[in-house]
Amino acid sequence: MTGRPVPVREEIRALGAYRLAPEDAPPIRAKLDFNESPFDVPGEIRADVLARLAAKRWGRYPEFGAPRLKKAIAEAIGRRPEEIVVGNGSGEVILAAVSVFAGGRTLVLPTPTFSLYGQIAAIAAARVMDIPREGADFELAEEEFLEASARPGAVPLVCSPNNPTGGVVRSAFLDRLLDIAAVVLLDQAYVDFAPSADDALLSFGSRRNLVVFRTLSKAYAAAGFRIGYAVAPPALVVEIEKAVLPFSVDLAAEELAVAVLAHPEVARSQVARIVAERGRVAEALAAAGCAVATSSANFLFVRPPDGDAARVRRGLLDRGILVRDMTAAAPGRLRVSIGSRAENDLFLEALQEVL
Ligand code: PMP
């Protein structure tokens, strides 16, 4: 027996374990901390999915390469199946793409941005270069970002609309970034909540070096089933798929995805209600003295008047309202998901008491 230490890679050891500590709290009345949909998949679609699933052979693997799912996604977004990579949530597909394009190289991130990218970079053994956002709306520092992205071995990853700040990249900037960078990774998990002018696939879908990530976890209210995808030129799809393990989308997720994509009107009407509520909640927060960044997503990035995000989060939790304290990403900020009208009212009432 030797006393040698178990060799954990240094960048993994250095990561904080992703853990949500259990806390003392009353029953939760509004869960506004994960940017989930306050709605759900409608009853008839659920019943249909369950019936189809019951008729399947559960002892067999799903169809290799998920051709039916790729076809459904391609049709829903007006692309070809050869342009689609599917995965167990978009997180898995982002990990695959970062591993393929940025492993051993440098991922360029406009921060604050989605915290999972840091973990993904560590797993993929990519270095990270942060380019801080600036101004009241946390806008991307375009010139600095372009300069960093043009360097050899640099791989830009942009989230638009950005989690947690809510803003979108400008089309003119994306155009320049695609010209200057070897490959551009663009996470559009929240694009359904933004104006259609911000749909990068409509404007830049024919570019040879663009990889766009999408998910059914947000606008399609299907987070429990884990379905995400990338859209990229077929030559890049072939490479990304080498880093996705086979059969990562299971039978149930595939069946649900096909069903929700066949009913785009459901997501459309749910999104319209969330967007209307986003405007109402943002106005109420501003009236209460909070700073609120302009958002094209299903959440708001909020600074309470006293800038004490930790105190406000705890006060809200004591009243059964869950929101996210984003102090680590931006001092004094909270991220609040847009819930149902009733949940948003509970949040705004509780906030008045806490303030
Ligand atoms: N990208 C962004 C920006 C997100 O906020 C999330 C979920 N919070 C994801 C990707 C991952 O979503 P999923 O794995 O559920 O598709």
- Are both 98 and 227 inside the same structural domain? yes
The domain in which residue 338 lies consists of 10-41+265-354
Residue 52 domain flag: no
pLDDT tens digits, 279-337? 999 999 999 999 999 999 999 999 999 999 999 999 999 999 999 999 999 999 999 99
Residue nearest to atom 11 of ligand 1 (CA): 91
- Are both 86 and 152 inside the same structural domain? yes
- Are both 232 and 289 inside the same structural domain? no
Last residue of a domain, one of 245, 262, 279: 262
CA dist., res. 184 & res. 208, Å (int):
10
pLDDT band at 255 (very low <50, low <70, confident <90, very high): very high
pLDDT of residue 58: 97
Q: Please check whether residue 12 is in contact with residue 313, taking contact to mean a CB–CB distance below 8 angstroms.
A: no
Residue 276 domain flag: yes
CATH number at residue 25: 3.90.1150.10
- Are both 254 and 174 inside the same structural domain? yes
- Are both 20 and 69 inside the same structural domain? no
Probe ligand 1: pick from 92, 215, 337, max atoms within 8 Å of CB?
Answer: 215
pLDDT tens digits, 146-203? 999 999 999 999 999 999 999 999 999 999 999 999 999 999 999 999 999 999 999 9
Residue 203 domain flag: yes
- Are both 202 and 317 inside the same structural domain? no
CATH number at residue 231: 3.40.640.10
Residues with CB under 6 A from ligand 1: 35, 89-91, 114, 159, 163, 187, 189, 215, 217, 223, 228
- Are both 254 and 107 inside the same structural domain? yes
Query: What is the percent of the chain where pLDDT is above 90?
Result: 93
Last residue of a domain, one of 262, 288, 307: 262
Cα of 218 vs centre of ligand 1, distance in Å, is 8
Omega before residue 164 within 30° of 0, cis: yes
Probe ligand 1: pick from 94, 98, 114, 229, max atoms within 8 Å of CB?
Answer: 114
Residue 48 domain flag: no
Residue 272 domain flag: yes
Residue nearest to atom 5 of ligand 1 (CA): 163
- Are both 252 and 299 inside the same structural domain? no
Q: pTM for this structure?
A: 0.96
Probe ligand 1: pick from 31, 37, 116, 337, max atoms within 8 Å of CB?
Answer: 116
Last residue of a domain, one of 238, 262, 286: 262
pLDDT band at 204 (very low <50, low <70, confident <90, very high): very high
Residue 21 domain flag: yes
Is 28's pLDDT higher than 80?
yes
Residue 128 domain flag: yes
Cα of 215 vs centre of ligand 1, distance in Å, is 7
- Are both 164 and 278 inside the same structural domain? no
Ligand 1 atom, smallest distance to 92 CA: 14
pLDDT band at 63 (very low <50, low <70, confident <90, very high): very high
CA dist., res. 192 & res. 280, Å (int):
18
Ligand 1 atom, smallest distance to 94 CA: 10
- Are both 269 and 257 inside the same structural domain? no
Cα of 89 vs centre of ligand 1, distance in Å, is 7
- Are both 148 and 167 inside the same structural domain? yes
Cα of 216 vs centre of ligand 1, distance in Å, is 9
Amino acid at residue number 106? T
Residue 245 domain flag: yes
CA dist., res. 183 & res. 98, Å (int):
11
What average pLDDT is seen over the chain? 96
- Are both 231 and 164 inside the same structural domain? yes
Cα of 171 vs centre of ligand 1, distance in Å, is 22
Domain count, the chain: 2
Cα of 116 vs centre of ligand 1, distance in Å, is 8
